Amino acid sequence: MCGIVGVAGRANAETVLIEGLRRLEYRGYDSAGLGVHCSDGRLRRARAPGKVSALETVMRPEVSGSTGIAHTRWATHGAPTEANAHPHQAGRVCLVHNGIIENYKSLRAELVACGRRFASETDTEVVAQLLDRELDGGADPKAALIATLGRLEGAFALAAIIEGEPGLVLGARRGAPLVAAVGDGASFLASDIMAITGEARSVIYLHEGDAVIVRPAGVEVLNAMGEVVDRPLVPAPASMAMAEKGNHRHFMQKEIYEQPEVVGRTLSAYVNAVSGRVRPREGVDFSKMTRLHIIGCGTASYAGQIAEYWFEGIAGLPVKVDIASEFRYRNPAFLEGDAALFISQSGETADTLEALRLCKAAGIVTIALVNSPHSSMAREADIVAPTLAGPEIGVASTKAFTCQLSALAALVVLAGAQRGRLSAEEQAGHIANLMAVPSLMAAALKVEQAIDRLASELAQASIVLYLGRNEFFPLALEGALKLKEISYIHAEGYAAGELKHGPIALIEDDVAVIVIAPHDALFAKTRSSIQEVRARGARVIAITDRPGADELDGETSAQLLLPRLTGMAAPIVSAVAVQLLAYYVAVHKGTDVDQPRNLAKSVTVE
């Protein structure tokens, strides 16, 4: 993930900023920069592609002061160049930003029409220009920030300094993490508390939609309506290990909450939002493929099964999904024009790696979809398709799974275009659907409290069944896997239409059945399955949307409401509820959420 650090009121703020960026290097990035409100009243920047060490080499003595912001960037809108590196400056404003501004194209066109000139290819510069325009119109910094935030759509965190406003840092978060903190005579902003551990004495974990005014003497927080609110000050973590979790109880919970940001980053690595197209990947030509094998283990395999529906339905490409441990031993038969895509978070999964080697030996084109660009699979595959989830500590995969789905969805659009199955307008429609995912995921996280209440009862269950149709069937399998991984409850996932072919025998009074039931084209079929299990005494929990909830009124024991979802965005966003449900059941059971028994994060032996 990209990193943000800000400081107000600290002598030689640039040293704090550089150290903060160093602590965030593990997240991955391709450029770095900082901006400082200098003692002569001017804003000065230093930016460089590459590592923080490269930034240090371009630092000049005059880039020094007591207030500043810094950033590590992973290129999304625009290549990793100095011009696209953060901070971006527009007039009096210097600004850094994580996430995606979904409506940046229309905002940019509006600003250009007003005579504003842009120096980068990024969506971030739009925010700096908007904020500067508000200031030019006479607004004070707080009013200018609130007005600017009201124009933005998407999931993001940002920090800004303003020329002529020494000792002031503005910040805001919507769907991406940001914390404020106070120390001895100074205050701070950061996307991760790790960046300011040791400097901060007390921390404010900002709520969704909060804006913040940071000054040396303290921090003022505004809610999404622009009203001043009190947010609790809590003691800052005393060690880096504690800081890694921030205000989250477990790494798994933190990683669930990181999804709007990392999914946005993954999508932006594949999509050219300006053109509404997926960027071609060297060596990938879906038009020449007769069949695509998708191979993985566990959660990665379920991501592949969801993508099977997409590749066949949208791109017209036949797909065969295999569990890696079975594929490598069943002596698979290949066709001319076959290609194979291997999914692994670590890129070191033993069975998947051996399956890749089997395909290479057979002369099959191999694609590795991995979260580790220097892994064995990335080195050995013909083509690498990265996911940009960042380090995932919790053994039960969460953000890696949704980043895999996001990358696969982008590849599906590319396949549809290359195979002549999608018009330019249809491609743009799919891209718009996917680029809305980060903000939809942020909205979906609001179901957390309802899930927490429900989980205390569900934790007493001895068996839980998950049902889904179409692409939600593999998501049902993933939900069951998550639950048994971390709560040790026996759980199974089924295609809802298969109930009558055996699984319905498991239904008896008080058996818990979780049904993923968005109000889509198959809703009526899914509703029939709900009625079947309910008639036999099951406690039905529906993961649905408002139209689905209205039709299911009185037919379920509980409903978990998600935003209205369509297209490939639907299973990606729905995964949030499935993950949170497993997480809170495990918490109520008191199991070791991050390191469940008998499991390892990366299975590197057979």
**408-450 pLDDT tens trace:** 999 999 999 999 999 999 999 999 999 999 999 999 999 999 9
Domain range list for the chain:
3-247, 255-435, 443-589
CA–CA dist 440, 437 (Å, integer): 5
The pLDDT assigned to 298 comes to: 94
Residue-level pLDDT at 272: 86
- Architecture per CATH, domain 255-435, reads as 3-Layer(aba) Sandwich (3.40)
Residue 525 near residue 496, CB atoms below 8 Å = yes
Please tell me the CATH code under which domain 443-589 is placed.
Answer: 3.40.50.10490
What average pLDDT score do residues 536-545 get? 92
Q: How far is CA 130 from the centre of its chain?
A: 26
Give yes or no for residue 604 having a pLDDT over 90. no
The whole-angstrom separation of Cα 382 and Cα 377 is: 9
Q: What is the pLDDT of residues 243-300, one digit of tens each?
A: 577 778 899 999 999 999 999 999 999 998 778 899 999 999 999 999 999 999 999 9
Residue 109: CB atoms within 10 Å:
11
pTM to 2 decimals? 0.78
Per-residue model confidence as pLDDT tens digits over 449-489: 999 999 999 999 989 999 999 999 999 999 999 999 999 99
Query: For the chain, what percent of residues have pLDDT higher than 90?
Result: 73
CATH number among 3.40.1050.10, 1.10.760.10, 3.40.50.2300, 3.60.20.10, domain 3-247: 3.60.20.10
Distance between CA 396 and CA 583 in Å, rounded? Answer: 9
94 is a catalytic site residue: no
Q: Which residues, in sequence order, are CB contacts of 125 under 8 Å at separation 6+?
A: 88, 90, 118, 119
In this prediction, residue 600 carries a pLDDT of 63
- The predicted-structure confidence for 204-239, as pLDDT tens digits, reads as follows 989 889 999 999 999 999 998 899 999 989 888 766
Question: What is the pLDDT confidence band of residue 605, given thresholds at 50, 70 and 90?
Answer: very low
139 secondary structure, DSSP code:
-
Per-residue model confidence (pLDDT) at position 599: 75
Tell me what pLDDT residue 550 has. Answer: 94
At position 8, the amino acid (one-letter code) is A
Dmax (CA) of the chain? 78
Q: What is the mean pLDDT of residues 101-115?
A: 94
- Mean pLDDT along residues 543-559: 93
Q: Confirm whether 2 is a catalytic residue.
A: yes
Instruction: Out of 2, 38, 94, 359, pick the active-site residue.
Output: 2
Q: Is the pLDDT of residue 127 over 90?
A: yes
Q: Is the pLDDT of residue 63 over 80?
A: yes
Q: Are both 3-247 and 255-435 of the same fold?
A: no
pLDDT of residue 410: 97
Q: Are 226 and 146 in contact (CB under 8 A)?
A: yes
Mean pLDDT of the chain: 92
246: left (phi over 0), alpha (psi -120 to 50) or beta: left
